[in-house]
């Protein structure tokens, strides 16, 4: 139960990050990669909204991947499935960002 609650908190943090991106009034684009400059963006508001949607979907799927931690306790499978699933989800998010969002909004 404790593991799922921690997992849930991280998922909620991703969702909050997405909401902040969508509601941002800043004239600068949010970065996706850590410690990397954002490429020149042609429509900052639309870019931030698309990135926010990506983070909200990521957080929601992340929480759903953690549900085995809630139902099956003290099992290696209940830990392996969420961890491997979140790795696959992160790779999918990077792919969507690079092939869809970055391609669409690069100036």
Write the pLDDT tens digit of every residue in 72-95.
Answer: 777 787 888 899 999 999 999 999
- Count how many residues are written for the chain: 107
Contact 8, 65 (CB under 8 A): no
pLDDT, residue 72, reads: 73
Total-model pTM: 0.86
CA distance linking residue 52 with residue 26, whole number of Å: 14
SS3 of 51, please?
helix
> Is pLDDT at 33 greater than 80 in this prediction?
no
The pLDDT assigned to 35 comes to 65
Token representation of residue 17: 């990050």
- Phi/psi for 106 (5° steps) reads -70, 130
Q: Distance of CA 40 to CAs 53, 84, 85, 93, 94, Å?
A: 20, 33, 32, 20, 18
Chain centre to alpha carbon of residue 76: 25
The structure tokens 């999918």 sit at: 92
């Amino acid at each position: 139960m404790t593991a799922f609650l921690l997992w849930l908190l991280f998922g909620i943090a991703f969702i909050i990050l997405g909401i902040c991106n969508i509601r941002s009034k800043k004239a600068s684009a949010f970065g996706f990669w850590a410690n990397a400059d954002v490429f020149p963006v042609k429509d900052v508001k639309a870019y931030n909204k698309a990135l926010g949607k990506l983070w909200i979907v990521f957080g929601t799927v992340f929480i759903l991947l953690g549900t085995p931690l809630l139902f099956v306790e003290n099992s290696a499978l209940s830990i392996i499935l969420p961890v491997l699933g979140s790795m696959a989800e992160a790779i999918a998010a990077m792919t969507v960002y690079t092939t869809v969002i970055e391609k669409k909004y690069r100036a």
